[in-house]
């Protein structure tokens, strides 16, 4: 085969390699050795088992199985390395042990083929723990070469699209998703210890609510009804608090029909939790605990490095009001600005664009925060007391009804969590829903809708409640030092290849 100037095998060469592999399969099938007819293989140990328990297993027979990652043919003896879910292990293969016919067949196996090996455990002259093969079984024939044979591993788009290959050739990627599972398990452990009940709520809803976001719309044929994929689990979880549960949580998929970048995917995983008789201060405490314990679980320390920046998740997080954070960042004190007109004039002075329908003091405070503050919040910080205009489900502060008991958690200039002292006044909530409807009618397609049943639930009675939502994918990015959300999603949303320009 001819290689191009970049030392990469061409697509024509790939097709040739695939043809050779198919011919090998045809030969196996002709000899009644079609590996795809095998339905089960009994292995006794993984690669990690063998390496961890070498002293107990030395000289004893084991059966391992995995994918061939490399082969070294040396006449009548060979070495191959197989990879399973736990790692890799080397095997010594010789004609003396397998017999001439079986050894000849083994030499035809390709990198990527899945095999089973039975043999005894030993160490080579270089002290590498290995399996001395007595018997080898071809379990699956790889008909396509692994991509490093022709594409290399630089194409991130290919890695995201073909995650199954990425996991094979990049062991560190597999480790990221092992940590993902450990983080989610640790969150469950924390909440279960505290008496929270894990629940499941609908993904399909007749009303889009619980957050400010553009929803996905689908259609239910039997009911002839448009439905929305949930943008949050909030309203249904609070219904359960009304129903008498003191503490509930849900870890689940959320869908938002919005932009895609290194921090956003149209579907993502969040956790929302609600606790009766608590407030947003209690939610700050549990946020700190979740981040601290998850870091200890997967990193072994609360002092981590994210993209070159050292972060300490073990200390008490900084707490600052939104208005004070703006004053710290740019010298503007919104405590001295009391009218919409003053706020609009200040925004124009600072060249901050105000979207249509957002010409209020509260919205402009939020715009100033986005412009001057968010990117500066590197160490863990709770920014609290948000304007009512941007917090339609949070309880107002008694001393200043323009402000709500809400916080967001920030690390490395990114938001990781959002929490409220939940609004439980049905009269106030009804008016805020009406304000959302007005915003929607004025062109804000992220504004919420009226949820009459949720108002009905509040009229039954919601106790004082603290609620918290955390973006699990972003937490996993932080604790695995991953630059993009796609690095922590097994199958991120991708544009179809046929649609790519």
Q: What is the DSSP letter of 450?
A: -
Tokens of 349: 């002075």
Residue range 5-24, pLDDT digits in tens: 344 567 788 899 999 999 99
Whether the per-residue pLDDT at 240 is higher than 70: the answer is: yes
For the chain, the first-to-last Cα distance in angstroms comes to: 30
Residue 116: which residues within 8 A CB-CB, separation 6 or more? 41, 43, 63, 64, 65, 136, 137, 139
Whether the per-residue pLDDT at 4 is higher than 70: the answer is: no
**430 and 418 Cβ atoms separated by less than 8 Å:** no
Tokens of 94: 């010789």
Percent of the chain with pLDDT over 70: 96
**Cα angle vertex 38, ends 35, 44, to 5°?**
110
**362 and 387 Cβ atoms separated by less than 8 Å:** yes
Residue 1: band (very low, low, confident or very high) from pLDDT cuts 50, 70, 90? very low
By C-alpha distance, which of 480, 498, 288 is closest to 382?
A: 288
Q: Where are the beta strands (DSSP E) in 85-165?
A: 87-94, 114-123, 129-140
Percent of the chain with pLDDT over 90: 84
Tally DSSP H helices, then E strands, for the chain: 16, 19
Query: What pLDDT, on the 0 to 100 scale, is given for residue 174?
Result: 93
Instruction: Please state the rounded mean pLDDT for residues 413-429.
Output: 96
Cα separation, 92 vs 68, whole angstroms: 13
318 three-state secondary structure: strand
Query: What pLDDT, on the 0 to 100 scale, is given for residue 443?
Result: 74
Query: What pLDDT, on the 0 to 100 scale, is given for residue 369?
Result: 98
Q: Would residue 459 be called left, alpha or beta, if left means φ above 0 and alpha means ψ between -120 and 50 degrees?
A: alpha
Whether the per-residue pLDDT at 412 is higher than 70: the answer is: yes
87-94 and 129-140 as β-strands: parallel, antiparallel, unpaired? Answer: parallel
Residue 81: which residues within 8 A CB-CB, separation 6 or more? 68, 69, 70, 71, 88, 89, 90, 91
Beta bridge partners of 383: 320, 408
By C-alpha distance, which of 117, 150, 133, 157 is closest to 7?
A: 150
Instruction: Please state the rounded mean pLDDT for residues 457-482.
Output: 98
Residue range 335-381, pLDDT digits in tens: 999 999 999 999 999 999 999 888 999 999 999 999 999 999 999 99
Instruction: Please state the rounded mean pLDDT for residues 425-434.
Output: 93
Query: What pLDDT, on the 0 to 100 scale, is given for residue 148?
Result: 62
**79 and 91 Cβ atoms separated by less than 8 Å:** yes
Q: Which domains does the chain have, with CATH numbers?
A: 11-152 (2.40.50.140), 169-317+379-499 (3.30.930.10)
Instruction: Calculate the average pLDDT of the chain.
Output: 93
Residue 453: which residues within 8 A CB-CB, separation 6 or more? none
Distance (Å) of CA 233 to CA 111, 202, 252, 370:
46, 8, 8, 25
Tokens of 286: 């549990």
Whether the per-residue pLDDT at 441 is higher than 70: the answer is: yes
Whether the per-residue pLDDT at 28 is higher than 60: the answer is: yes
Cα separation, 68 vs 116, whole angstroms: 10
By C-alpha distance, which of 479, 458, 25 is closest to 242?
A: 458
396-397 and 400-411 as β-strands: parallel, antiparallel, unpaired? Answer: antiparallel
Residue range 162-186, pLDDT digits in tens: 899 999 988 889 999 999 999 999 9
Distance (Å) of CA 373 to CA 63, 320, 331, 366, 378:
58, 11, 11, 10, 10
279 three-state secondary structure: coil
**31 and 98 Cβ atoms separated by less than 8 Å:** no
Cα separation, 119 vs 373, whole angstroms: 62
Q: What is the maximal distance between C-alpha atoms in the chain?
A: 91
CA atoms within 13 Å, Cβ hemisphere of 120 = 7
Residue 149: band (very low, low, confident or very high) from pLDDT cuts 50, 70, 90? very low
The distance from CA 24 to its chain's CA centroid, rounded to whole angstroms, is: 40
Rounded to a whole number of angstroms, the CA Rg of the chain reads 29
Residue 415: enclosing H or E segment and its boundaries? strand 414-421
Please tell me the total number of residues recorded for the chain in this structure: 501
Instruction: Please state the rounded mean pLDDT for residues 187-211.
Output: 95
**91 and 82 Cβ atoms separated by less than 8 Å:** yes
Query: What pLDDT, on the 0 to 100 scale, is given for residue 2?
Result: 39
Phi, psi angle pair for 450, to nearest 5°: -75, 130
Query: What pLDDT, on the 0 to 100 scale, is given for residue 154?
Result: 60
Cα separation, 77 vs 91, whole angstroms: 11
Distance (Å) of CA 4 to CA 7, 152, 281, 285, 317:
5, 13, 62, 59, 55
Cα separation, 429 vs 268, whole angstroms: 27
Tokens of 109: 């196996």
**379 and 318 Cβ atoms separated by less than 8 Å:** yes
Tokens of 44: 């006794």
Residue labelled with tokens 């929803």: 215
By C-alpha distance, which of 60, 61, 132 is closest to 96?
A: 132
**287 and 419 Cβ atoms separated by less than 8 Å:** yes
């Amino acid at each position: 085969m001819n290689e191009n100037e970049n030392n990469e095998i061409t697509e024509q060469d790939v097709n040739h390699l695939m043809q050779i592999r198919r011919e090998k399969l045809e030969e196996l099938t002709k000899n009644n050795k079609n590996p795809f007819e095998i339905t089960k293989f009994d292995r006794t140990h993984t690669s990690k088992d063998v390496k961890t328990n070498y002293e107990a297993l030395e000289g004893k027979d084991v059966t391992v199985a995995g994918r061939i990652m490399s082969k070294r043919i040396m006449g009548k003896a060979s070495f191959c390395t197989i990879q399973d879910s736990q790692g890799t292990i080397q095997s010594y293969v010789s004609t003396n042990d397998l017999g001439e016919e079986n050894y000849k067949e083994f030499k035809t196996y390709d990198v990527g083929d899945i095999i089973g090996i039975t043999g005894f455990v030993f160490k080579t002259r270089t002290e590498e723990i290995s399996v001395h093969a007595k018997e080898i079984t071809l379990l699956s024939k790889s008909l396509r070469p692994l991509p490093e044979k022709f594409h290399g591993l630089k194409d991130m788009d290919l890695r995201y699209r073909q995650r199954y290959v990425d996991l094979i050739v990049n062991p560190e990627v597999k480790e990221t998703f092992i940590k993902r599972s450990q983080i989610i398990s640790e969150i469950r452990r924390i909440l279960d210890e505290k008496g929270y009940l894990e629940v499941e709520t609908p993904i399909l809803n007749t009303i889009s609510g619980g957050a400010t976001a553009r929803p996905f719309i689908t259609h239910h044929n039997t009911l002839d009804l448009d439905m929305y994929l949930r943008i949050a689990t909030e309203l249904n979880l609070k219904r359960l608090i009304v129903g008498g549960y003191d503490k509930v949580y849900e870890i689940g998929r959320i869908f938002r029909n919005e932009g895609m970048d290194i921090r956003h995917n149209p579907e993502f995983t969040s956790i929302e939790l609600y606790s009766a008789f608590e407030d947003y201060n209690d939610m700050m405490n549990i946020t700190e605990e979740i981040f601290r314990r998850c870091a200890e679980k997967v990193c072994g320390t609360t002092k981590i490095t994210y993209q070159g920046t050292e972060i300490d998740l073990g200390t008490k997080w900084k707490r600052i009001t939104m208005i004070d954070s703006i004053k710290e960042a740019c010298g503007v004190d919104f405590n001295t600005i009391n009218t919409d007109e003053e706020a609009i004039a200040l925004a124009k002075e600072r060249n901050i664009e105000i979207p249509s329908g957002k010409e209020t003091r509260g919205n402009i405070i939020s715009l100033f925060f986005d412009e001057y503050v968010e990117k500066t919040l590197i160490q863990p910080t709770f920014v609290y007391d948000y304007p009512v205009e941007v917090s339609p489900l949070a309880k107002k502060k008694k001393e200043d009804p323009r402000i709500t008991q809400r916080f967001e958690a920030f690390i490395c200039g990114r938001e990781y969590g959002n929490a409220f002292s939940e609004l439980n006044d049905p009269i106030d909530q009804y008016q805020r829903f009406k304000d959302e409807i007005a915003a929607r009618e004025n062109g804000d397609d992220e504004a919420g809708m009226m949820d009459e049943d949720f108002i009905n639930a509040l009229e039954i009675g919601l106790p004082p409640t603290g609620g918290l939502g955390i973006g699990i994918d972003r937490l996993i990015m932080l604790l695995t030092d991953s630059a993009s959300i796609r690095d922590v999603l097994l199958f991120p949303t991708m544009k179809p290849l046929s649609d790519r320009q």
